[in-house]
A and B are shown apart, each in its own frame.
Chain A
Amino acid sequence: MSYSDKVIDHYQHPKNVGTLDKTKASVGTGLVGAPECGDVMRLQIEVDEKSGVIKDAKFKTFGCGSAIASSSLATEWLKGKSIDEAVTIDNMTIVEELNLPPVKIHCSVLAEDAIKAAINDYRQKNGLEALKFDEKIVH
């Protein structure tokens, strides 16, 4: 299977690899996937308290090139978005942007889940209730 140029570019030059301080109230952390499944993503957002805009996003991912690219792309998209905008990021837009083949769609779903998990972590830390999301059925 060959990867698209965009996947290769994110793999070779991943954007926003790193760790934010998860103890801070302004930081939301989402950890999704499982080592047994071959994919674990950790995505973090830091929200500007006044404007509610995501001012920083970082990821670390254990997985294939498509998983790394999906999370790298997600962090790029998150920066500068408000929480409300970030919630609407759909995995299929990631699939389209990266030209992921059908067997790799689960990587984009994982990235979407990681975004939502990070947002909910942030909301709960700040006394808001967690948003409920419809489960996406994969494999």
Chain B
Amino acid sequence: MQMNRRQFFKICSAGLGGSSIAVMGFSPTAALAEVRAFKLARATETRSTCPYCSVACGLLVYSTGDKSKNSHSEIIHVEGDPDNPVNRGTLCPKGAGVRDMMQSKDRLKWPEVREPGAKEWKRISWHDAIERIAKHMKADRDKNFVAQNKDGVTVNRWPTFAALAASAATNEGGYITVKMLRTLGVTQLDTQARI
């Protein structure tokens, strides 16, 4: 573009004036705005139960995709289930943040064992884990079971073992857990829900 000095100054001042007037509010802009798109639209909604305590609040877990063959789901949001009579949609801070626990890198997803003296945890199958635990329990019970106390009274105690029950267990599950452990002679028994 060819221009002389005078034309250059004219263009500059016109541009400066124009943009100043626009900045001062003379340039009309449309009064438009939009809220953030509702992120749960067409997400898959799955009912679940909060794993933290014995209250067992109802959860709605929202994930991407429609469960079609080639679409891989990812959990994007969790909130309370308004239809659950326990919490009617509300949650405590732990339940409200449960998505971060579900997706935590440190979440334990399978049984692991650390052999005596070893530093690393090693993944084992569920079958191996249950068998191993049963064998340890049996050995310990055989060694330490107290059938009678020193006065000769039958007590059937297994004092070297303690059990911690899961939090989301139902009444029925809790009943069976207590029955089974008391049958073995377990006296120290608690549930994670109290922690």
Do chains A and B stick together as partners?
Answer: no
Chain A interface (Cβ < 8 Å from any Cβ of B): none
